[in-house]
Amino acid sequence: MTDSTRVKATAQASGPPFIRSAFPASGPNGSLDHVALVTIDRQDALNALSFDLLDELAATLEALDADPACRAIVLTGAGDRAFAAGADIRELSTQTPTTLAAGNRFAVWDRIAAIGTPLIAAVRGFALGGGSELAMSCDMIVAGEDAQFGQPEIRLGVMPGAGGTQRLTRAIGKAKAMEMILTGRTMGAREAEAHGLVTRVVPSEATLDAALELATVVAAQAPLAARAAKQAILQAAELSLSAGIEHERREFFRLFATDDQTEGMTAFDEKRPATWTGR
């Protein structure tokens, strides 16, 4: 399918797919073991997130998450202009409180948040509104120097609705989150890095390769340990310190029932690389 055949405006129930996925992903030197690449491809609307697109995205991520061979996922936007410029404003503009509640279509955000496989966003250009919220739903963000993050919903007469007030505040703190959300201004990649929103900033053209490289390193680790560590880190935003430490200790102990713990420590002793089985 060519880009020109993709639907342009509001999503159609039977329109062509907005999501491309490759597993294993390909890097500059060939196929990347255990790494998947998922691409939002709706370039004529700056990869705006319609409800159907989000459903497709969640289904794609869930299918990869259920595959034990997949150990890290990179999520990106097609083209060089946007990761995603937000929810589909044309589609949102016709909603009412009743249609939003009755459709239960925001449940898709919980499905994305429930993905256990480490998720890395590769962000070039605009990551606005729902696009910024989607990037923040990932575990790490690799940003090109041209990345622009923002929650401009206030300029549309509303406010963030897919986690922006919570995740942005946790990422960059109350003072900056208030400024971003109450003014709707964007934040460039370097500023986002300085405030802890992104993991690393790279030259724009290198964004996807850098994210795939980071994913390759994550995917080379013991997969059960990586998933458990991801969950424990996410719990830091949900639990008290003592409950979080209790959760961490329980998970640490649990990993001592895995073959990978035996293998990892035996390999260290034998001065050889470990071979993980995910058991």
Residues that bind ligand CO8 (CB under 6 A): 45-46, 48-49, 51, 54, 85-90, 126, 128-130, 152-153, 156, 161-162
Instruction: Determine the Cα–Cα distance for residues 182 and 40; give it in Å rounded to an integer.
Output: 28
Of 91, 133, 213, 248, which residue is the catalytic one?
133
Least distance CB 126 / ligand CO8 (angstroms):
5
Least distance CB 94 / ligand CO8 (angstroms):
12
Least distance CB 183 / ligand CO8 (angstroms):
13
Q: Choose among 220, 232, 262: nearest CA to 71.
A: 220
Q: Which is nearer to ligand CO8, 48 or 197 (CB)?
A: 48
Q: Which is nearer to ligand CO8, 118 or 131 (CB)?
A: 131
Of 36, 87, 171, 215, which residue is the catalytic one?
87
130 is annotated as an active-site residue:
yes
Which of the 8 DSSP states describes residue 125? S
Least distance CB 53 / ligand CO8 (angstroms):
9
Q: Which is nearer to ligand CO8, 106 or 252 (CB)?
A: 106
Q: Show the tokens assigned to 118.
A: 């480490």
Q: Which is nearer to ligand CO8, 50 or 207 (CB)?
A: 50
Q: Which is nearer to ligand CO8, 54 or 119 (CB)?
A: 54
Of 130, 131, 164, 264, which residue is the catalytic one?
130
Neighbours of 13 (CB within 10 A): 5
Least distance CB 100 / ligand CO8 (angstroms):
9
Match 């790279």 to its residue by tokens: 202
133 is annotated as an active-site residue:
yes
153-162 as b/e, with b when 16 or more CB fall inside 10 Å? Answer: beeeeeebbb
Least distance CB 197 / ligand CO8 (angstroms):
17
**Which residue has the closest beta carbon to ligand CO8?**
129
Q: Which is nearer to ligand CO8, 84 or 219 (CB)?
A: 84
Phi and psi at 50, nearest 5°, equal -75, 165
Instruction: Determine the Cα–Cα distance for residues 200 and 207; give it in Å rounded to an integer.
Output: 10
Q: Choose among 126, 133, 121, 134: nearest CA to 215.
A: 121
Which of the 8 DSSP states describes residue 177? H
Burial of residue 34 (CB within 10 Å: 0-12, 13-18, 19+) is buried
Instruction: Determine the Cα–Cα distance for residues 255 and 233; give it in Å rounded to an integer.
Output: 16
> Angle between the 223-235 and 241-255 helix axes, to the nearest 10 degrees?
170
Catalytic site positions:
87, 130, 133, 153
